[in-house]
Amino acid sequence: MDLSKFQTFRVAACDLNGRMRGKRVPGDYAAKLDRGTIRMPLSVLNVDIFGADIENSPLVFETGDADGILLPSGRGPMPVPWLAVDQPLVPMVMHHDDGAPFEGDPRHALVSVLDRFAARGWQVMAATELEFTLVDDSEDTLKTVRDPRNGRRLTSPGILSLSQMDAFDPFLSALYQGCQDMGIPAQTATTEAGIGQFEITLNHQDALRAADDTWAFKTLIKGLARQHGFAASFMAKPFEDDAGNGMHLHFSVLDSDGKNIFDDGGEAGTDLMRTAVAGCVAAMPGSTLIFAPHANSYTRLVPGAHAPTGAGWAYENRTVAIRIPGGPPAARRIEHRVAGGDINPYLTFTAILGAAITGIDDDMAPPAPLTGNAYEQELPQLAADWQTAIDRFETDPLITRFFSPMMIRNLVMTKRQELRLMSAIPQTEHWKTYLETV
């Protein structure tokens, strides 16, 4: 795509909450993107969910709020189908003036973890399944979406309902076209257990590209929903008495010959797979903040809400946090089922894949695979509330194996500020903060 042909285009990097932070620039900037011409304060990737600076942040008060430089991520420019005027988006990553990666950028955190796999001659392949809910936010109270065919509100879920998909076909067709235009490999679409809830799966691909696409995909869905007269929410729990939104990450690892290192020719998978599972299980309680980063997240992470709250694993069992799906041995993979739809994709990939490679590096042994309903079994638990999740993330020694000290500090400071501010807002009003921001 020749960016110089456009009057303007957009550049954006990812902040700690997964939001796009950047600028609209003239088309003649196209030739300057890799020269560090575009500058932003380093602290802009460390603002809170409201877009405000973090109080007493070292990025502001110890460095004088210094600038960093934005450089292209390598994902390449993408069209922005939800805008009326063509202005492509170029994903960027934050660096220091000397070109060194800024450790407060979530994408750099994922690259550091993937480098550990690459050092062994391995490539991680990954795919995401994203749930979202279409809603009506036109009033002071969040409401279920209206059926476009008759204008009446949906009152019941339409699990795997083709009729309900027909009702929203213009939106879903635009979504598939948008994915094609942006180079995002969308696969199946289904209606889910929530009222107005859908799930879209993305195809397996290189893990860094999968994270890039998941980040862009969430923005695409929100933008196209607005075009069609409703809003799309990735809140973990848009409605208290309805199903929540999750994001499942599937991953496998290929060696230098292209062979899946989890494949032993049978259903059990390899010892390497089990050590990766062990790392994921061990790191799960301390990583709760990554999988449930907001006040609303903890209304989903409760027993009986069909979201895993215990750190366990099993073969072909959808009640566990970590599932080994069936299918051909060559496709043996790990499915991590804990995260809400409100996550930052880069931080979530980092936590899961960082735990997996740490389990492999340390030759960890997993607990026995579970049988039966995992919700009814005694297991190590994820943090039950936001405060506990923040404290665990700050002090868990496993977290330091795949997140830098700066990233841990910045995220903890951000979430403590958000916890304080959100505590002053009635829970019934939280959606007004989170609908557009997660």
Q: Which of 215, 324, 210 is nearest to 278 (CA)?
A: 324
Percent of the chain scored above 70 by pLDDT?
100
Q: What integer pLDDT is reported at residue 307 of this predicted model?
A: 84
Cα atoms found within 13 Å of the Cα of residue 197, Cβ hemisphere only: 26
Per-residue pLDDT tens over the stretch 125-136: 999 999 999 999
Q: What integer pLDDT is reported at residue 429 of this predicted model?
A: 97
Distance, in Å, from the CA atom of 330 to the CA atom of 267, rounded to the nearest integer, reads 10
Domain boundaries, the chain: 7-107, 114-434
Distance, in Å, from the CA atom of 286 to the CA atom of 288, rounded to the nearest integer, reads 6
Q: How confident is the model over 312-332, as a mean pLDDT?
A: 95
Residue 304 has pLDDT above 70, yes or no: no
Is the pTM above the cut of 0.95? yes
Per-residue pLDDT tens over the stretch 8-33: 999 999 999 999 999 999 999 999 99
Per-residue pLDDT tens over the stretch 208-246: 999 999 999 999 999 999 999 999 999 999 999 999 999
What single string gives the DSSP state of each residue in 364-409? Answer: --PPPPP-S-GGGS--PBPPSSHHHHHHHHHH-TTGGGTS-HHHHH
- Using a 10 angstrom Cβ sphere, with 0-12 exposed, 13-18 middle and 19 or more buried, the burial of residue 38 is buried
> Mean pLDDT for the chain?
96
Sign, CA torsion 103/126/375/371:
negative
The model's confidence at residue 123, banded by pLDDT at 50, 70 and 90, is very high
CB-based contacts of 360: which residues, under 8 Å, 6+ apart? 272, 275, 276, 279
Domain 7-107 belongs in CATH node 3.40.50.10140? no
CATH class label, 114-434: alpha beta
Per-residue pLDDT tens over the stretch 140-177: 999 999 999 999 999 999 898 898 999 999 999 999 99
Q: What integer pLDDT is reported at residue 60 of this predicted model?
A: 77
Sign, CA torsion 400/402/406/411:
negative
What single string gives the DSSP state of each residue in 15-61? Answer: -TTS-EEEEEEEGGGGGGGGGT--EEEGGGGG--TTSPPPTT-HHHH
Q: What integer pLDDT is reported at residue 59 of this predicted model?
A: 84
Per-residue pLDDT tens over the stretch 373-423: 888 888 999 999 999 999 999 999 999 999 999 999 999 999 999 999 999
The model's confidence at residue 65, banded by pLDDT at 50, 70 and 90, is confident
Cα atoms found within 13 Å of the Cα of residue 148, Cβ hemisphere only: 18
Residue 305 has pLDDT above 70, yes or no: no
Distance, in Å, from the CA atom of 13 to the CA atom of 11, rounded to the nearest integer, reads 7
